[in-house]
Amino acid sequence: MHIATWNCNGALRKKLDALDKLKFDIAVIQECEDPARSTSAPYKAWAKNYLWTGTNKNKGIGVFAAPEVKLKPVDLDLGQLQSFLPCRVQGSFLLVATWTRQANSPTFQYIGQLWKFIQAHRSILSSQPAMIVGDLNSNVRWDKWDRWWNHSDVVKELSELGLESVYHRARGLPQGSEPEPTFFLQRNPLKAYHIDYAFAPVAWMDSCSAWIGESEEWLQWSDHMPLVVRVNLPDSA
């Protein structure tokens, strides 16, 4: 299965041709508008199989799937956490589409939001196959020595749940040593960071692969590059 994540930087309705080139089975898209409330007829027609959530109809998170892929929302108590979109894929695994944000939290911002999600839903994540995919706004380079919910801490907790970053597994790289950025602050080539991820069960990673879009092509569309991963789901999926 090919799973993509891309922070489209808004106006997804104008970027559908670019997104379709990824030939995804599932695409997790941050900063996209709600198709149900869009005034764009082509966008509404394109978004036939999707889930979406957000507090702003113009800038939420969506999961878009190929016609044959079954999506079903999963009702988890998220409290004040933003922005997570849990759903069941093909009736066989849990996908947590993610866009970690400041979320008006004075303490648990960005990667701290995912840390809190893990604490609240550890039993669910550990009881079934699961993927966590999206824009985490985080990298090990920003770890702080006196904070217990650093990027490294979250990666360690996910590893304990049997989930590993597909990109790092495919490349054989440790966290923080990524040669390919997924984000260019202010679209500046000198401000390049790797902050988008796809975590999946280790058992699915036989011959896994990962691809990141080239800035020369994708910066015209967004400050984020798409990340596309391929994992081998069990036959039952």
Confidence check: pLDDT of 151 > 60: yes
- Write phi, then psi, for 98 (nearest 5 degrees): -135, 140
Confidence at residue 221, expressed as pLDDT on a 0 to 100 scale:
97
**8 A C-beta contact, residue 32 and residue 8:** yes
Percentage of residues in the chain having pLDDT higher than 90: 87
Confidence at residue 51, expressed as pLDDT on a 0 to 100 scale:
98
Confidence check: pLDDT of 145 > 90: no
Report d(CA 104, CA 16) in Å as an integer: 31
Assign 17 a pLDDT band (cuts: 50, 70, 90).
very high
Segment 192-198 mean pLDDT: 98
Segment 2-30 mean pLDDT: 97
Confidence at residue 183, expressed as pLDDT on a 0 to 100 scale:
98
Q: Give 79-94 pLDDT, tens digit per residue.
A: 888 889 999 999 889 9
Confidence at residue 1, expressed as pLDDT on a 0 to 100 scale:
94
Confidence check: pLDDT of 76 > 60: yes
Q: Give 30-51 pLDDT, tens digit per residue.
A: 999 999 999 999 999 999 999 9
Q: Give 99-144 pLDDT, tens digit per residue.
A: 998 877 777 888 999 999 999 999 999 999 999 999 999 999 999 9
Confidence at residue 235, expressed as pLDDT on a 0 to 100 scale:
67
Confidence at residue 103, expressed as pLDDT on a 0 to 100 scale:
72
Taking the CB of residue 112, how many other CB atoms lie within 10 A of it? 22
Distance of CA 213 to the CA centre of its chain: 15
Segment 164-170 mean pLDDT: 97
Confidence at residue 236, expressed as pLDDT on a 0 to 100 scale:
46
Question: Structural domain boundaries of the chain?
Answer: 2-230
Confidence at residue 75, expressed as pLDDT on a 0 to 100 scale:
92
**8 A C-beta contact, residue 136 and residue 109:** no
| Class in CATH terms, 2-230 | alpha beta
Tokens of 45: 């027609």
